[in-house]
């Protein structure tokens, strides 16, 4: 009897460990980065800044943090090197962080996270961006000084608590191209940065 119970216990653990929620082909279409890009931006006031995409990695996570067994969800993460948003002693300092990721959540929905943090600009997105809702929208045609994009989605910043909007680095919206990724971001006071390379 003990052997049977032990066998059932092991079988249940094995079954729970093998549950995986994979990203679909449609989900992957929202991740244009390969992991070695150099994103050069110029502002409408003539300043320049570069974000260096360092690598792209696929991992498996447990969305239920209280249980290291059970459903595993696929996550594609892109890491970058960017200028520090806080200038100290007039010197430029670079930091390494997440840039964006696509993941399945425990409800089997794909979500996009964009962590834009660069020279005097931070995208304060409290929640994750639901790809199901973006897939229901029609992309816009958007033209920068360098190029026209036919697959752009505008993602507005959400400051539910109202504590970030007054900050000088607050990014009000992102322009995300499914084929190229971030192509523009807007700040307050009509300041914007566009991808030039």
d(CA 106, CA 109): 7
Question: Is the distance from CB of 72 to CB of 88 less than 8 angstroms?
Answer: no
Q: Which residues, 6+ apart, have CB-to-CB distance to 99 below 8 Å?
A: 33, 51, 53, 78, 79, 80, 82, 114, 115, 116
Domain span holding position 164:
2-195
Report the predicted TM-score, pTM, of the whole model to 2 decimal places. 0.83
pLDDT of residue 6: 47
Question: Which percentage of the chain shows pLDDT scores above 90?
Answer: 49
- Which tokens in the block code for residue 70? 């059970």
d(CA 86, CA 23): 35
| Phi, psi angle pair for 122, to nearest 5° | -140, 130
Provide the number of structural domains found in the chain. Answer: 1
pLDDT of residue 14: 47
């Amino acid at each position: 009897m003990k052997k049977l119970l032990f066998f059932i216990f092991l079988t249940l653990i094995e079954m729970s460990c093998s549950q995986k929620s994979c990203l679909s082909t449609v989900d992957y279409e929202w991740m244009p980065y390969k992991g070695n890009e150099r994103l050069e931006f110029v502002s409408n006031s003539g300043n320049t800044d570069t974000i260096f995409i360092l690598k792209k990695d696929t991992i498996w996570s447990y969305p239920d943090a209280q249980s290291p067994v059970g459903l595993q969800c696929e996550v594609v993460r892109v890491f970058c090197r960017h200028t520090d948003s806080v200038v100290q002693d007039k010197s430029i300092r670079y930091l390494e962080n997440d840039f964006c990721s696509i993941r399945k959540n425990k409800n089997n929905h794909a979500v996009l996270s964009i962590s834009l943090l660069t020279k005097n600009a931070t995208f304060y997105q409290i929640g994750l961006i639901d790809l199901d809702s973006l897939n229901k929208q029609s992309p816009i045609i958007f033209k920068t000084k360098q190029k026209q994009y036919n697959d752009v989605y505008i993602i507005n910043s959400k400051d539910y608590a109202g504590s970030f909007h007054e900050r000088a680095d607050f990014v009000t919206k992102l322009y995300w191209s499914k084929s190229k990724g971030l192509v523009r971001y807007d700040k307050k006071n009509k300041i914007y940065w566009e991808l030039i390379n």
